Structure 1
Amino acid sequence: MTKKQLPLDELSGAIGRILGLLLTEEKVDQAVQSLSQAIKESVPGTLGAGVSILDSQARRTSTGFTDSIVEQADFLQYELGQGPCLTAWASEEPVLIEDLSTDPRWPEWRTAVSSLPIKSAVSAPLIANGHSIGAIKVYALEPSVFDGGTVTLMELFASPAATLLSHIQSSETPKRISEGLQAALYSRDLVNRACGILMERHKINHERALQQLIGNARDQSITLQEVSAELVAGIPADHN
């Protein structure tokens, strides 16, 4: 299946739209519902999307979903205590399922959702202030709909969304939320500029550049924003 790759401007616009939706919401429940819908509309190939805010014991404190299929799949995850969303939350790493029918992870959950029309999925953690507060996820009807590019998109959505959701959850003032939006938009633009440098330097596409930045950040145990800032400032971010 040919996967649509979002152009850089479209990606930036989608993230900005998600942040704008979050800023209009006064309650977390309304915010996660808006975020779910925005993700579904922004990630190519998505059947449905969802957002879960979790406490320290993996109990849902707020949840949003676009379709009953997402609601059922998520309910079974929390009922059974296993699944890609919980794994993403606990590990603070994104989870990609290319083909659910052959994926050996979470056997009880996989059996429980076998009657649902989902074959592939991506879950990404929502990390705010160094803590995982939940996860976002997308599901697709067919296997191999999602790939590394989808994972990258979900990570880019999750980072600023987590910051703003944590502010809403903590009943921060609108001014504080606006400052968080400015910081999130700055980080997004910084990553985009760093990707542009790598694309020009190595003659690679945007997806490959993002993957290289993320790999460098993990290798160096620093954030994606920090490794991007180093590259933009003229410090080599790739050590190959």
Structure 2
Amino acid sequence: MAEQASETAIRSELQDLVLESTEFGEFLNGFVNVAARELSEHTGRTIYSAVTLLRPKHAGTVASSSEEAQNMDEIQYGFDDGPCLRAARGHTTVLVQDFEAEHRFGNYTKAVIAHGIRSALGVPIIVEGAVDAGLDLYCREPGVFDPATIAEAEKFAVQASRSLRLAVRISALEELSNHLSAAMENRTTIDLAVGIIMGQNRCSQETAVNILKAASSARNIKLHAVAAAVVASVGETEPATHFQA
């Protein structure tokens, strides 16, 4: 019963993180701190935690529970290899019992040892679609990640997957909303610039649009930037659209 209550409390805490975080990075930071706390309590050792999120058209997103975890993940990205990246890409748990006896990661291993880290565990987190995620756990002592600890980490990853999926979806919707807002603002500026050109040159809307496009092409400047310059040239500031996402 106590174990079930603990699992319910963790799920609730992660769900609250999704609802209360004002941005995606804030959720990830809270997420790794919960992971570090839970696994440290389970092992009786200090566990450093980080998470890697790999999304199409995005740089890898990394959040770390500590400076030590951040350093380890920066090393992973520098070598483009390591337990967390392999776990995320291969959707399988990757264990390093002792880096001093490890031969799978080449020079990455030496770099990790130089920072005093002896063991690590990469656990995949199932998100959705083309998104890959991995939870990375580090310790300064070897042999910390025994079968019971690995099972605990994998169970945490399963618990966390739903909250992470929701956070990814919300982040994607926010990005879409921002893109739509920017598109509407750009459209408003362009329409105003077209009107200014029509008035100044006594030409049709089509001709005014072609003038804007020709200036954009000749100067190798985006159409919106040319339109903004036209608006500014008559002493106007860029108009604010009333569109709200």
- Shorter-chain TM-score: which interval? 0.5 to 0.7
Equivalent residue for 2:25? 29
1:18, distance to aligned residue in structure 2 (A) = 3.1
1:7, distance to aligned residue in structure 2 (A) = 4.3
Query: Is the alpha carbon distance of 1:170 and 1:69 closer, same or farther for their aligned partners in structure 2, counting shifts above 3 Å?
Result: same
Equivalent residue for 2:70? 71
1:112, distance to aligned residue in structure 2 (A) = 1.5
Matched-pair contact (CA < 8 Å) for 2:62–2:73: no
1:8, distance to aligned residue in structure 2 (A) = 4.8
Alignment of 1:222-233 (within 5 A): none
Residue-pair matches, total: 168
1:167, distance to aligned residue in structure 2 (A) = 2.2
2:170 partner SS: coil
1:130, distance to aligned residue in structure 2 (A) = 5.7
Amino acid at match of 1:53: L
Amino acid at match of 1:169: V
- Once residues 58 and 93 of structure 1 are traced to their aligned partners in structure 2, the CA distance between those partners, rounded to angstroms, is 22
Equivalent residue for 2:230? none
Does residue 10 (structure 1) correspond to residue 6 (structure 2)? The answer is yes
Equivalent residue for 2:200? none
- Once residues 117 and 7 of structure 1 are traced to their aligned partners in structure 2, the CA distance between those partners, rounded to angstroms, is 33
Matched-pair contact (CA < 8 Å) for 1:120–1:141: yes
1:59, distance to aligned residue in structure 2 (A) = 4.0
Query: Is the alpha carbon distance of 1:141 and 1:32 closer, same or farther for their aligned partners in structure 2, counting shifts above 3 Å?
Result: same
1:56, distance to aligned residue in structure 2 (A) = 4.4
Equivalent residue for 1:148? 147
- Once residues 33 and 87 of structure 2 are traced to their aligned partners in structure 1, the CA distance between those partners, rounded to angstroms, is 20
Unaligned runs of 5+ residues in structure 2 are 173-245
Equivalent residue for 1:103? 102
Amino acid at match of 1:39: A
2:36 partner SS: helix
1:93, distance to aligned residue in structure 2 (A) = 0.7
Query: Is the alpha carbon distance of 1:26 and 1:158 closer, same or farther for their aligned partners in structure 2, counting shifts above 3 Å?
Result: farther
1:143 partner SS: coil
Matched-pair contact (CA < 8 Å) for 1:133–1:162: no
Equivalent residue for 2:48? 48
The structure in which a higher percent of residues are helix is 2
- Once residues 158 and 130 of structure 2 are traced to their aligned partners in structure 1, the CA distance between those partners, rounded to angstroms, is 12
Matched-pair contact (CA < 8 Å) for 1:37–1:49: yes
**TM-score, with structure 1 as normaliser:** 0.62
Matched-pair contact (CA < 8 Å) for 1:29–1:64: yes
**TM-score, with structure 2 as normaliser:** 0.61
- Once residues 11 and 168 of structure 2 are traced to their aligned partners in structure 1, the CA distance between those partners, rounded to angstroms, is 20
Equivalent residue for 1:124? 123
Identity %: 22
Supply the RMSD in Å over aligned alpha carbons. Answer: 2.6
